[in-house]
A and B are shown apart, each in its own frame.
Chain A
Amino acid sequence: MGCPNVGKSVIFSRLTGVNVVSSNYPGTTVDFTRGTTFISGEKFELIDVPGTYSLEATSKAEEVAQTMLQEADFVINVVDATHLERNLYLTLEILERKKPSIIALNLWDETKHLGITIDVAKLEQALDVSVITTCALCGTGIRELASKVGDAEPSKTIEPMSEEDRWLKVGKIIRDVQVVQHRHHTIRERITDATVKPTTGIPIALLVILFMFLFIITLGNAILDYLMDPLFYGYYGPWIVGVVNSFAPSGLLHDILIGTSTLESLDFEQSLGILTTGLYVPFGLVLPFVITFYFILSLLEDLGYLPRLAILVDTGLHKLGLHGAAIVPTILGCGCNVPGALATRILETEKQRFIAMTLMAISVPCMAQSAMIFAILGRYGLRWILIVYSTLFVLYIFLGLVLKRLIKGESPELLLEVPRYRKPDPVTLLKKTWSKAYGFLAEAVPFVILGIFIVNLLYVFGIIDVLSAVFSPILTAVLGLPEGAIVALMLGILRKDLAIGMLLPLGMSPQQLTIACIILATYFPCIATFVVMLRELGVRDMLKAAGLMIIVSLSAGIIMRAFLIGI
């Protein structure tokens, strides 16, 4: 365990090996990771405890950290050597609990060019536990750390003390063991400063966002056009149609498996078969964009750019009852609303969390949804995509302004450490991208297939006709959509990307598609997001949020109808 941003997760993954991912922004490891490791033949279970500055439980993350410490047999305390003074407070608190402990003095390599000298032997003496210097990113010191874990002992010299005394003790240890040389501003620091000064920082931020957007669109489209489409249409399609036709040339099973696809007219978008549309939507249309999104997000994350962005947007977000740090869950939400909703835990008050989650559920479409919006509206021109996103953006601002005044509670100010820029490690970067993309597939494929299966059943049993008749007054009279759109709205609760795909067979005009996309984005979160929000907000607040969603969605739909189609 240790403070945020000290490299706990990297050390953790070095010790445990496979399939563990570290993140650079605070708060995201509240859902902790567990892993096992073998050290000199003995099996240990390791837990990556969420980062915390102290054990006085003032936030959820700190509570979790405290409980975990109580249950642990031994503690590896990861300490940032470049910020020893700040980190030692937590170290003392841990040692006071008398658990066998060992200290990993991480980021040791960086102390040299920062002009910091630490006397490790003296530090060991003062704390009475082993201190191992490590560099998690390059891997030095990790083996030694592992070999010493077995011999970890509780500190005999550190006794429980008051908060005041703890700070004094920290000060005393620092004076004994650390020497900091004064250095002049380097060029690297000047560039670093440029990204937080408003005159240079705001243009840089706009460029970064523009680049991010272009990168996702261009590379995503390239993967779709040159890899996924040739694979699906050239190889997979003919093969699967042949296979299914060989044992089920027609009938219910044939329709559920490959829908209306035939060898002559392969149709992955509208055929509604589990093995055609069901695989093409997640693998073909969405995955290329999900991969590129997570790649660029992980890159910005590992570089340490996101906190800078938080500073620049802080003033604006304050007007919406949030503060700068809320940009992190929002950007995560652009990938998938589930981690986005979880990341709102970095916000301090319930008011902020409610606003951030509600705004996200209503006006931040996930990457899967965005990919489908691009795929479907893109063929009619960029204009329609822009209409959808500007509407969502206006809703975000408008709702935020309203909610800030409506919701009781506090919106505290920003107090955020801005980590130094770090060089991203390509292997970690790729690992991270892969694990996020894999997470998407594991989540999306079963739900998309289930969704298509349900649609098939609904059609077979004629339930669609009944539902269409019931909802047609709202859909056709009020929103100007064909009554068949009810299928999309129903599936939207399962998965939004599939729901947008369901709009295709309805033969709608671009105006109607635009309205439908806006409604699908806003009216309700998908089931996965709903479950997380329910857990995070509680039943009452979730009901409030859901009510807002329906009102906002209907109003936006009606206004856009008047705007685009006329009354």
Chain B
Amino acid sequence: MVENQLRNTDPEGGGVPLTSLLPGERARIVALGHGKGQQHHFRTMGLMEGKIVKLIATQPARGPFVIDIEGTQIAVGRGMARHILIEKL
């Protein structure tokens, strides 16, 4: 299952951007978009396909998102968050 998810990372594969989550909501990451470099960067930070994330907080005036992934908090700029596609739980 994980194998398929890793190979199938095109944005057409479904899912909505992380930016559509509201604080407190949980979602599963379905795809990481935009180039190998960014994908790699996301994965090294623990943002991987199949993982469950929870939105902790958003900052006003188009500030970054703070998400929790398996107990680690990560701050993601809004533009980048658009490239993380999720499926709400």
Contacts and interface: CB of A to CB of B under 8 A. Distances in A.
A349 to B, nearest CB: 13
A89 B43 contact: yes
A312 B63 CA distance: 8
Of listed B42, B46, B79, residue having the most chain A CB within 10 A:
B46
B27 interface: no
A265 interface: no
Contacts of B75: 196, 307, 310-311, 314, 324, 414-418
Contact of B64 (A54, A163, A171, A413): A413
Given A85-B46, A418-B75, A180 B59 contact: no
A418 B74 contact: yes
A156 interface: no
A414 B2 contact: no
Nearest to B7: A164
B70 interface: yes
Interface string B24-58: 00000000000011001111111010000000111
Contacts of A201: 57
A114 interface: yes
A193 B44 contact: no
A415 B40 contact: no
Contact of A196 (B3, B7, B73): B73
A418 B66 CA distance: 9
Interface residues of B, number: 36
B13 interface: no
Contact of B56 (A164, A193, A324): A193
Given A196-B57, A314-B59, A315-B61, A415 B74 contact: yes
Interface residues of A, number: 40
Contacts of A412: 77
A197 B43 contact: no
A193 B57 contact: yes
B87 to A, nearest CB: 19
B80 to A, nearest CB: 5
Nearest to A164: B6
A417 B66 CA distance: 9
Given A168-B2, A415-B76, A86 B45 contact: yes
Interface in A354-383: none
A115 B43 CA distance: 22
Nearest to B42: A415
A56 B71 contact: no
A101 interface: no
A114 B72 CA distance: 11
A82 interface: yes
B78 interface: yes
Contacts of B43: 89, 167
A417 B73 contact: yes
A56 B40 contact: yes
A83 interface: yes
Given A314-B77, A324-B75, A413-B64, A83 B46 contact: yes
Q: Which 7 interchain pairs have the tightest Cβ spacing?
A: A413-B77, A53-B44, A315-B63, A418-B73, A197-B57, A86-B46, A414-B77
Given A196-B75, A315-B59, A414-B75, 14 more contacts: A3-B44, A53-B44, A83-B46, A171-B2, A196-B57, A196-B66, A197-B23, A198-B58, A314-B75, A414-B64, A415-B42, A415-B75, A415-B76, A417-B72
22 contacts: A53-B41, A82-B71, A83-B70, A85-B46, A164-B7, A171-B6, A180-B70, A192-B73, A193-B56, A310-B75, A314-B75, A324-B64, A413-B78, A413-B80, A414-B64, A415-B76, A417-B45, A417-B72, A417-B75, A418-B72, A418-B73, A418-B74
Interface of A: 3, 53-54, 56, 58, 82-83, 85-86, 89-90, 114, 163-164, 167-168, 171, 180, 192-193, 196-198, 201, 307, 310-312, 314-315, 323-324, 412-418, 420
